[in-house]
Amino acid sequence: MKQVQFEYRGQEDLAANIKRIKMWCQSSLISKVIFQIYTETLDKEKIEKICRSIVDEIPYALYMGASTNGNIIMGDKSKTKISIVCTIFEYPTTNVMILQYPLSEANSLEVVESLTAVVKDNPWVKSITTYTTMRGMSMTTYCEELGMLPRNLVFCGGGAFSDNINDDAAFVFSSSGQISDHAAVFLLVGGDDYHVKATHVTGWKPLGRSLLVTKAKGAVLYELDGKPAYQTYYKYLNIKNDANFFFNTLEFPFLYNLNGMDILRAPIASNEDGSIMMTADIAENVEAKIAYGDPWTILEIVYDTAVSFEDFIPEAFTVFSCAGRRTFWGDDEIGNETKPFQSIAPTSGFYTSGEFLRNGKHVNQHNVTLVIKAEREGNTEGKELPKVYMNTEEFSGKVSMINRLATFIQAATEELEEANRQLGIAAITDGLTKLYNRAEIQRLISEKVSEDDSKGSHGIKRTGNSLIMMDIDDFKQVNDVYGHKEGDAVLRSLSKMLKEVINKNAPGSSAGRWGGEEFMILLPGYNRKKASEIASIIREEFARLVFPNAPFQTISLGVTEMIAGETGDISCIRVDDALYTAKADGKNRVVVK
């Protein structure tokens, strides 16, 4: 694989570069030739002229391209509006195909089904790279549909953009289709001697406590923790809702886990109702954290990622970097995170409106992320391992002040959250048995009664939810004869056994200590016949328990099924009466009422 990268400086210079490529191809063994054209300008006539020049000179060449927020060439941001990359595959086993489809939310499934069919008919395909228009289109369903593609494929790409970050105009094009502002272009590459690897870099670290996304629709984030989303940025970061909102929040995107991968979503603007426009869809009922971008931390992760490619011995890198990262770094420093890849192989790409990368069975849309694809033809035998060059003196062995502060805040927040979690557990747990305490099991019973009321009985008397109440027979004798320490051991053994029986026979049920040696079990979805069977298992299992000092013990149990329209207290009185009857009838038995 060979690659030629150059900046467009007019038709005359373009013609000279194409002729040099043609001459090299004529003097060498080649398989496929593909041109990738990245353009910050939306001048379609100029792009069409460039494409015609390529085809006129090299008719067998393929091409594809996209409008961008900036171009990457030789590992750095290009200084011209248009950049061109020519990749020449040399192995005869390498195959290349370019597809282009119109794309909208209405036909996205049709596009993916067609793409999947092509892949099925061409088992040589190992990677798919996409350029796609996405502004104004929700990509959530489309990404879910892309999960249909075979899992062994590397899938990555970027969203077309324009040089103006606030402009929705964007287009893609290829040798398989015309310039279009509603389309997706796919580059399929594979073969026995073709090798590919892809990964991503964020570098933004979570900061502070988790926030629950309580209301969101598409790319609009309405509420966090039940409050207008904007309040979070104002309260914690003092970011005002003004013309600088986007730039001030760029260092602080939201980070949340989606399909097992950390995903960033950056705010674009705050609306009058306190909602926030995000760069892409964000789901409801997910835990999100504000993240912070620290340049030292980002570069350290970039360096480690570049080093991870050394053993692969790549011959070319394609990178898709979010336009937000370009804004974050500025044009003078944005190359700091792409030059390390250039030090081991030619690196090109563009600044996107969103990045795509497959993770397992899922295709995710990223924001504020750097996606890197490495390619190579042939094996690595006999090839010298490349070494990443990067000036690491600024961060090697040191941690920036802001990174230390962010780490401190995050660690302190996690400790506080864990302490609060433990306090929450303690508030509803019986200290000795580690089952629910009486207040919590009563709350769960009342909650179940409320659910039954909301559903309505419609004449159905019984709810299919039951209670089991139990009491250890003659437990006072255990304490009096063998001591309270042994009595506690009996209670703990009963509790452990209850958990095991419930997990095995009545999953979803809850057990609690009612008081002293009395226990209560709530069994949602179990009628009194099933509850009676479970009560019998508990009685038999308890009778078999062996204690360090005390003899075998027995237990009496009452069972009842909750009735629609009655309160939780009435159900508890009835099950308590059933337990009393079991005691009065000779103990060590189950009574159902």
Query: Which value, to the nearest 10 degrees, does the dihedral of the CA atoms of residues 74, 80, 82, 85 take?
Result: -20
What span, in angstroms and rounded, lies between the C-alpha atoms of 518 and 529?
22
What span, in angstroms and rounded, lies between the C-alpha atoms of 216 and 367?
17
Phi-psi region of 397 (alpha: psi -120 to 50; beta: other; left: phi over 0): left
Backbone torsions φ then ψ of 548, nearest 5 degrees? -55, -40
Q: Which among 579, 522, 525 is positioned nearest to 590, based on CA atoms?
A: 579
- Block residue for tokens 């192995």: 91
What span, in angstroms and rounded, lies between the C-alpha atoms of 70 and 336?
15
DSSP codes of every residue in 224-238: ETTEETHHHHHHHH-
Active site residue: 337, 517, 518, 566, which one?
Answer: 517
What span, in angstroms and rounded, lies between the C-alpha atoms of 268 and 258?
20
What span, in angstroms and rounded, lies between the C-alpha atoms of 569 and 560?
13
Q: At 349, list the tokens.
A: 């790409």
Helix axes 475-482, 484-505, angle to 10 degrees: 140
* Gyration radius of the chain's alpha carbons: 33
Judge whether 403 and 297 are in contact, CB under 8 Å: yes
What span, in angstroms and rounded, lies between the C-alpha atoms of 319 and 169?
22
517 is catalytic: yes
Task: Classify residue 383 by its DSSP letter.
Answer: P
Q: Which among 509, 504, 532 is positioned nearest to 522, based on CA atoms?
A: 509
* Residues labelled catalytic: 517
